[in-house]
A and B are shown apart, each in its own frame.
Chain A
Amino acid sequence: MEPLRIHTGVVCPLNRSNIDTDQIIPKQFLKRIERSGFGQFLFYHWRFDDDGNLRKDFSMNHPKYQGASILVAGENFGCGSSREHAPWAIQDFGFKVVIAQSYADIFKNNCVKNGILTIQASEEQVQTIMRKAESEGYTLTVNLEDQVVYDNQGLEIKFDIPPYPKEMLLNGWDEIGVTLNYEDKISQYELASK
């Protein structure tokens, strides 16, 4: 997994709440047995109409958001199904950071495992970013070490993140590798609970 320390990127607003993982990646794309290539199906039925043409009224399709790497949304982002295909699609599409008012638990976990940073911000902060992101080429910089998001117009938002996911993201660790160092403890537990 790639480490994430400081990231600057174009911001794409998605002004909705309760965006479920069925919308992020619809079920017909869950049949693949690979981990890659899901980006093309991201928000499939919101991005494309029934004939496969881009929907002009969907924010993500606007030319000014092409190449965006920071996604901004409302409350309860990523609710519903536990499918990790959702963060895979988000990442494969080019997003590295999500900023939202709140997240579903499983989705948030899945993001960390894939090196995607999920930042929780207040409703006011999210709305401010959404508004600013209406202007072409609006970028934010995220500094994970210092736990701060800022733009070049004076906006600065501090955010919280527990030490463990922070460390994982900063170092891009393979978690299984880390856990296998605790092999003795696991064996002891197994013996004791027999």
Chain B
Amino acid sequence: MQKPKNIIQKVWEQHVVHQEAGKPDLLYIDLHLVHEVTSPQAFEGLRMNGRKVRRPDLTYATMDHNVSTRDRNVIKDPISKKQIDTLKENCQEFGVELSDRQHPDNGIVHVIGPELGLTQPGKTIVCGDSHTSTHGAFGALAFGIGTSEVEHVLATQTLWQAPPKTMNVKMNGKLGTGVTAKDLILAIIGKFGVQFGTGYVMEYTGEAIRSLSMEERMTVCNMSIEGGARAGLIAPDETTFEYLKGRRHVPKGEAFEEAVAKWRTLSTEEGAEYDAVVEIEASEVEPQVTWGTNPGMCIPITASVPNPEEEEKSNKKDEISRALQYMGLEADQPISSVKIDHVFIGSCTNSRLSDLRKAADVVRGHKVNPKVKAIVVPGSFSVKLAAEKEGIDQIFKEAGFEWREAGCSMCLAMNDDIVPPGGRCASTSNRNFEGRQGNGSRTHLVSPEMAAAAAVAGHFVDVRQFTAQEVL
């Protein structure tokens, strides 16, 4: 009898085009997503060698990093504009479908893939972007690649890849009230560090994962890369099929039923093994706030910033001291005492409709603290429209948030949405690296609910206890 397999091994095997000793496997790619920042040199490479895009029909492009969230039609920076224009020209020349700035399907690449139903269980999906792991929420094997690999996929629709090690990330129990998918993944990275997943593809399993919605699962998978794993996935189930049904690129009618039957066979088999297993008790997770300069540097809202003196190893001591210095924090300071001046609700981690709904629920009836500049940037054009239909934009605007157009925006500040030097931002994005939101900016990663509460309070607060009285 064959050894039972996990979902990662199954999807992998289904995509091997060629195997030979001494080489990685040649893996077929089902969907290649493209954006403006990591593709120009790849298209240029094709041109220089007289090569074409092998499967334009499996390639889909969008522009998200450079777009302005104030006015979609205007890009002030001429170099950004050039990058945007170059993508458009390349897509025309090579016959690749593009949702450009004005297109109703436009948005952050990892938001629109699922929205359009391009993302499906069992697919291999790549993009020149490390947060491609997001698409793993559907049971796809999705990972980020560099520009040389983008060129390779454009030309051959394949990649040479060594089979990854597999890891089972078990999330037992249920999340408590006010604790979100974002807190769950931050807590995992906080517990196991920013490189525990290096060399692995993760499968997230357990009760806590099963009870998450698709959008919450995307939040979890999005940050797999922050734990070092190129890909993290979740076996598809009824929640997945329900989400996919009726989306534009998903098969319809009978073909849908057939697809679902096939997708069901992807799940990890009883008794299948992994190269590693880690576990976390979801019920013990509290709302998280990062205090340092990588996503592993996070603590519960009820805790205090660490003290480097309590570390034994000198390089760890240095790392903490340097992070505290950059962040302008004192050792042992309660994180709830930290005042903020910027709030960013957006990014491919937390800019979907349910994220905005939950943040709006916290904000409703409150005002943004006068010292805080707060913006909401929907993940896509269609998220924005849907939110406006529900009146979510009004709740934010009445509270004093700016309601913006879709894009990556302040997640990496490649456009004009920048946190100034020394500015401190509660952000729903995924990276708190030095200078990520602007040179000298200080980022604290939180859930949308926690960001909303912080916007009102002007400092971090435990959203579980957030009431009108306690805001003061």
Contacts and interface: CB of A to CB of B under 8 A. Distances in A.
Interface of A: 15-18, 20, 22-23, 26-28, 30-35, 45, 50, 74-76, 79-84, 87, 102-106, 109-110, 113-114, 162-164, 175-176, 179-180, 182, 185-186, 189-190, 193
Contacts of B59: none
Given A31-B80, A84-B148, A164-B24, A185 B17 contact: yes
Given A18-B195, A34-B44, 14 more contacts: A22-B433, A23-B434, A30-B65, A33-B40, A33-B83, A74-B315, A76-B194, A76-B198, A82-B130, A84-B41, A102-B198, A109-B145, A180-B156, A182-B158
Nearest to B433: A22
B407 interface: no
A26 B28 CA distance: 32
Nearest to B80: A31
A152 B408 CA distance: 50
A162 B17 contact: no
Contacts of B294: 18, 20, 79
A175 B22 contact: no
B148 A80 contact: no
Given A45-B434, A82-B146, A185-B18, A176 B152 contact: yes
Contact of A34 (B41, B148, B413): B41
Interface of B: 17-18, 22-24, 26, 28, 37-38, 40-41, 44-45, 49, 51, 54, 65-66, 77, 79-80, 82-83, 86, 128-130, 143-149, 151-152, 155-158, 160, 162, 194-195, 198-199, 225, 228, 230, 294, 315, 319, 322, 412-414, 421, 431, 433-436, 439-440
Given A163-B22, A176-B156, A31 B66 contact: yes
B156 A31 contact: no
Given A84-B147, A104-B198, A30 B435 contact: no
Nearest to B24: A164
A23 B436 CA distance: 9
Interface of B is mostly: loop
B18 A182 contact: yes
15 contacts: A22-B433, A22-B435, A33-B40, A33-B44, A34-B41, A50-B421, A50-B440, A76-B198, A83-B38, A84-B146, A105-B199, A164-B22, A176-B156, A179-B26, A182-B17
B37 to A, nearest CB: 5
Given A27-B414, A82-B146, A104-B198, A33 B86 contact: yes
A67 to B, nearest CB: 27
Nearest to B128: A82
A22 B431 contact: yes
Contacts of B433: 20, 22-23, 80
A109 to B, nearest CB: 6
Contacts of A22: 412, 431, 433-436
Contact of A179 (B38, B130, B160, B439): B160
A55 B151 CA distance: 37
Contact of A17 (B24, B162, B319, B421): B319
B26 A76 contact: no
A163 B80 CA distance: 40
A76 B129 CA distance: 18
B36 to A, nearest CB: 9
A17 B148 contact: no
A15 B86 CA distance: 39
A16 B293 CA distance: 13
Contacts of A185: 17-18, 26
Q: Which of A26, A163, A164 has the most CB of B within 10 A?
A: A26
